[in-house]
Structure 1
Amino acid sequence: MPLHVPAAPAPALRSVLTALSSPTAVREARTPSLLGAPRPLSAELPLPVHVLDGITAGGGSATRLAGWRFLIRSGEHAVAAADTVLTPDGWTFSRFFEGPYVTSTELALHQAEAMAEPYQPRLLSVPELYMLTLWLHGDRGADAAAGHPAATDLLVPLAPAPPGIAAHRAHRAADLLPVLTHRATPTPLLGSPA
């Protein structure tokens, strides 16, 4: 299998497992697919969630680790996801959720497993475009909590992707990041000073 899923911090996993075993946490999540899913439920495929901040016209950008996301499985399929965040007290459960990004993440991971090259999977969020991508990092041994997309890394936009960007199509980071930069850079209005 070419995917080398990084190990999540143990406290992050424990916090998700504790929330999964808590009827109150699951019920308050108001996630119908999680409520109605046959048991047992498992937290699998931990992915670090990086946020791409401050895309600029000059091509500069910065990434930061925002948390870890776990797919919650019931049987053969993911029915929800769980996010964890780093607080002053350590990693803690944040929320359960469902929706198109859960299914899309699972599909993109299956597609990545079929690739010839080995990768370390991560998630890269682009808040300025309301976009989430599966980031396939070429350095399998890298610290999953750090780094920036290398030019040869692959970015796979998850569905729903912004208009004009095809979901589930792998792009080299060197090709997609300039497009995202262009999209995120505000265009001056006609008649306004540049």
Structure 2
Amino acid sequence: MNLANKITLARIFLVPVIMIFLLVQMDLQPITAGEFSITYNQLVAALIFILAASTDGLDGYIARKNKIVTNLGKLLDPLADKLLVAAVLISLVEMSKLSAFIAIVIISREFAVTGLRQIALLEGTVLAASKWGKWKTAIQITMIILLLLNNFPFAFIGIPLDFIVSWMAAIITVYSGIDYFVKNKNLIADSVKR
């Protein structure tokens, strides 16, 4: 197994670690500064999430640079991304930090686009990430980090950036999903005929 695939697998293995830190109650005093407060386990989960999310581009870069792109990597990389984001979104809903509506919109879009990618693969085509798909990922990661860090540092100045970015993520997620389906409507029409 090459280095890029090992990095992708590491991202998958970090998912349950993040969930343990988020969902298992630990009896530690929270870090507080004025009105701001965050638990140690939530802070550790945020740092692990940032580490895991940062490996997303790294594994692909290493694979392309060293010409070691594999079918396993093509399968595992998007799976790792979706597992990471979905697990944290569901955990944030459980923690009452994110609206279930937003989590469902994001996760549903991921399932829909994954299905479209599967149709494309059956037709012998690979759907590359679009500009909107890349924006969607960046905004989702930003949203998750803000939610995990209890809106730090914006909580100090009273700007609900976590709330604003959550709705931006939902809107861009829907738009990017529609964009994929509109741009690939011929692929869908062809697959329905067969």
Which is helix-richer, 1 or 2? 2
Class of the TM-score when normalised by the shorter of the 2 chains: under 0.3
Q: Which has the higher contact order (CA 8 A, sep 6+)?
A: 2
Q: TM-score, normalised by structure 1?
A: 0.27
Q: TM-score, normalised by structure 2?
A: 0.27
